[in-house]
Amino acid sequence: MTLVLAIAGLAAAGLGWMLMRRSPSIAFAGMCVVIAFFPVWWAVTYGTDWRPPLVFGSVLLASLIGRLPRRYTLADLGVAIFFAAGLLPVVAGGASISTVFILVTEWVLGFLIGRFVFGLVGPERIYQTMVVVFAVAAGFGIFEFVADFHLWRILGPNNRLYHLWAQIQYRAGLPRSEGAFGHSIAFGCSMALAIPMVYATRFKPWLKVVLTGVLSAAVLVSFSRAAMLAAAIGLLVIAVRGATGVDRASRGAAWLSLGLGALGVVPIIFQVLEQAGSEASGSASYRGQLYDLVAVMKIVGRTGAAQTSLTGERSVGGFRSIDSQIVLTGLSYGWLMMAIGLLLLAIAVVLVLIGRSSPAMVAVVAQLPALASVALITQYGTLFWIVVGLAVAARAAGSQSEPEPAVVEQLSEPAATR
């Protein structure tokens, strides 16, 4: 039976490879659909959990062999150094199978997909695809909250991942929308990632406002403060500084979205957080205390402060859950990798502030509150790194389109002197 399933799986992978090879745009759309609508517990367990984004993404990446970008920049080098710092413990010691597996199968895989498809599909098609797919997912999330009907919780195998992620969270007595992401923060932050991309599409300004409203409403019903901040920061940057491919009319639509949000959304946020009371404040205090763990980080490799109790519960320095990807990176891979990541983020912030960024880079920078308060869990991790890949690819495409100084100088000379 196992042999039959293996043969069927290989046949399906081969067929998928052929279809993806023929149409990278459809392949990328399929990847977005898998991330947005296939929960992690729809996994095939064979040695490890082969989650839907990993299976689909691996075939997609394989279909891009021989069609890789020809131009690379310092941004590519920076990300490569970041990943190398994460893999350095494999050689120097201090690595674990789980941390290396996550790094390779979620972070590196996601980055390479975003980096490679950008030039094949084109930024406008990519942004439009992501906006449409995640707007539909947002609509399901809004329905999930209004009807208190959690579709994905009743679908899929009743396995280990299901018990880990399928439980619905509550805040102030209200169910938090999770969609297929298995966690309200992952859902909200993923919807927030798509908001800056709305304004680089060719949709009419009024439709951009509507799409922003749908995505923002989905962020709201996740009741995630980090996701709300990410959505607000991304929208504010687009309105104030703009981004590549964002015209004046789109920035006007972003300002309108901000105004409508301030009038209708902000009061609701304060009301819910006020009702949540000590729950929300305790959660914030817990995350603040996590930064005390910087003291137990190694330069390279996993911290030695990690412990496993007799009941199998894992903790680090008394903390059972590390709700900060920044801290978790240092604990899992060493503070060297964490420092490199923070440096790259700082450079991205500067590029955004001076108006030399793409919508994808704006989306990444806007996620800073989330990176400080939640780990890259479920599909959110793969999606985040896809957007990082898009941001790096857009940077390379932008530098390629800039004329060389010598050419500019020659074109600026009077005709009589040529």
Chain centre to alpha carbon of residue 30 = 16
For residues 175 and 210, the answer to whether their CB atoms sit within 8 Å is no
pLDDT at 416: 41
Mean pLDDT of the chain: 86
Establish if 379 belongs to a structural domain: yes
Establish if 407 belongs to a structural domain: no
* pLDDT, average across residues 306-310: 54
pLDDT at 4: 65
At 245, give phi and psi (nearest 5°).
Answer: 85, 0
- Write out 253-310 in H/E/C secondary structure: HHHHHHHHHHHHCHHHHHHHHHHHCHHHHHHHHHHHHHHHHHHHCCCCCCCCCEEECC
pLDDT at 6: 66
Establish if 337 belongs to a structural domain: yes
Does the pLDDT value for residue 27 go beyond 70?
yes
pLDDT at 145: 93
Establish if 405 belongs to a structural domain: no
* pLDDT, average across residues 391-396: 94
Chain centre to alpha carbon of residue 374 = 12
pLDDT at 186: 95
pLDDT at 33: 97
Handedness of CA 381, 221, 178, 138 (dihedral sign): negative
Closest CA to 109 of 349, 383, 399: 383
pLDDT at 173: 80
pLDDT at 7: 74
Question: Could you give the number of structural domains in the chain?
Answer: 1
Handedness of CA 31, 32, 33, 34 (dihedral sign): positive
> Whole-model pTM?
0.90
pLDDT at 24: 92
Eight-state DSSP code of residue 46:
E
Least confident segment among 100-109, 330-339, 391-400: 391-400
> Between these two residues, 266 and 77, which has the higher pLDDT value?
77
> Between these two residues, 412 and 339, which has the higher pLDDT value?
339
State how far the Cα of 148 lies from the Cα of 142, in Å rounded to an integer: 10
Establish if 364 belongs to a structural domain: yes
Establish if 49 belongs to a structural domain: yes
Most confident of 289-293, 327-331, 396-400: 327-331
pLDDT tens readout for residues 344-363:
999 999 999 998 999 999 99
Q: Is 175 helix (H, G, I), strand (E, B) or coil?
A: strand
Q: What is the DSSP string of 356-403?
A: ---HHHHHHHHTHHHHTTS---HHHHHHHHHHHHHHHHHHHHHHHHSP
Domain that holds residue 189: 2-67+74-305+317-398
Neighbours of 95 (CB within 10 A): 21
Establish if 406 belongs to a structural domain: no
Establish if 412 belongs to a structural domain: no
